[in-house]
Structure 1
Amino acid sequence: MKIARLTLSDRASAGIYEDLSGPEIERIISEAGFGTPQWIRLVMPDDRDDIENLLRKLSDEDQCDLILTTGGTGPSRRDNTPEATKAVIDRELPGFGEIMRMKSFQAVPTAILSRSTAGTRGRSLIVNLPGKPKAIGECLPMLIPAIIEALRHLKD
């Protein structure tokens, strides 16, 4: 299995702070029993065109089974991840974002500002995760059964 983890952050990509979200994604995926996937690890700024191009490349050329993004899902002008994702997917799977907002809202009322989504492009599943490691730790584990099922369907 080939999995890409894409951290979208102007500051992390500039080296202002360390990317902690990407490693948190890997930790959770490893604990979920995905074996030893081939990882593509990337950190890049919140540029919509660049994000779109990279998502296309990861899906079409690199043939990633799963693409997990972190960051860029808030309401600020530089948060472009959902728009980039929606521009490249064939089918949207809004339930991923809905359940993450419901779960996060229980702890943080401002979680309703998240615009996370998910969808498929070809045989790739793309999921937008929150940008904070703690939120990834709360949200990603509960998505694992749906991710496994979606990947099973995409393999057909």
Structure 2
Amino acid sequence: MRAAIFTIDTESYEAKKKSAAGEALKRMLEQNRLEVKAAGVLPRDQEVLSTVFRQLADSGSIELIITTGATGYLEQDCAPRAVKEVSEQLLPGIPEALRAYNLRYSKKAMLDCMAAGIRKHTLIVNLPESAKTAKEDMEYILSEVVQVVESINL
């Protein structure tokens, strides 16, 4: 399975800094035999995110796009809106399960606006900004993510 991981953070993008969350997710996915074909930092810009998601999904080169960050309720938290904009089908159960899972640690999880959806043969999932939380969340949903990707690519 070919994956892309993007941290959504304008300051890190402009400073060309790597992301701790992105690196943690990359290691975890590779340990689970997923091929990370692209990884990086993108600005908090819905148009940029939507364009990147469309290009990757429409090219057929990536089957899984994971984002970390920009999942809150503020105007600049545009990752969920970008997923909703480009998806042909939303999978609300994934973010619902993650919010429930994360509520065990913090009531602030109820303010998270993560989204998940399918475009063509690509699954797109938003995860929180924290490296620890993003990695734990991905571990929690990994088997279901693999199942979705495999089934939409039959």
* TM value normalised by structure 2: 0.94
**AA partner of residue 92 (structure 1):** L
Identity across the alignment (%): 27
**AA partner of residue 37 (structure 2):** W
Structure 2: tracts of 5 or more residues without a match: none
* Residue of 120, 135, 140 corresponding to 1:142: 140
* TM value normalised by structure 1: 0.92
CA distance in 2, matches of 1:95, 1:116: 11
Partner of 2:15: 15
Following TM superposition, the consecutive aligned residue runs of length 4 or more in structure 1 with deviations greater than 6 angstroms are none
Q: State the Cα distance separating 1:34 from its structure 2 match.
A: 2.0
Partner of 2:71: 73
How much is the aligned-residue C-alpha RMSD, in angstroms? 1.5
The 8 Å contact of residues 7 and 19 in structure 1, kept in 2 or not, is answered as yes
Q: State the Cα distance separating 1:77 from its structure 2 match.
A: 1.5
Q: State the Cα distance separating 1:24 from its structure 2 match.
A: 1.1
- Report SS of the residue matched to 1:101: helix
The 8 Å contact of residues 88 and 120 in structure 2, kept in 1 or not, is answered as yes
1:34 counterpart = 2:33: yes
**CA deviation map 1:6-50 (0-9, x unaligned):** 11111211228641111111122123x225x14211211100111
Work out the number of aligned pairs and report it: 154
- Report SS of the residue matched to 1:14: helix
The 8 Å contact of residues 91 and 116 in structure 2, kept in 1 or not, is answered as yes
CA distance in 2, matches of 1:109, 1:23: 26
Partner of 1:118: 116
The 8 Å contact of residues 123 and 148 in structure 2, kept in 1 or not, is answered as yes
Q: State the Cα distance separating 1:76 from its structure 2 match.
A: 1.6
- Report SS of the residue matched to 1:75: coil
- Report SS of the residue matched to 1:134: helix
Structure 1: tracts of 5 or more residues without a match: none
The 8 Å contact of residues 45 and 76 in structure 2, kept in 1 or not, is answered as yes
CA distance in 2, matches of 1:91, 1:80: 18
CA distance in 1, matches of 2:18, 2:142: 26
The 8 Å contact of residues 30 and 36 in structure 2, kept in 1 or not, is answered as no
- Report SS of the residue matched to 1:79: coil
**AA partner of residue 68 (structure 1):** I
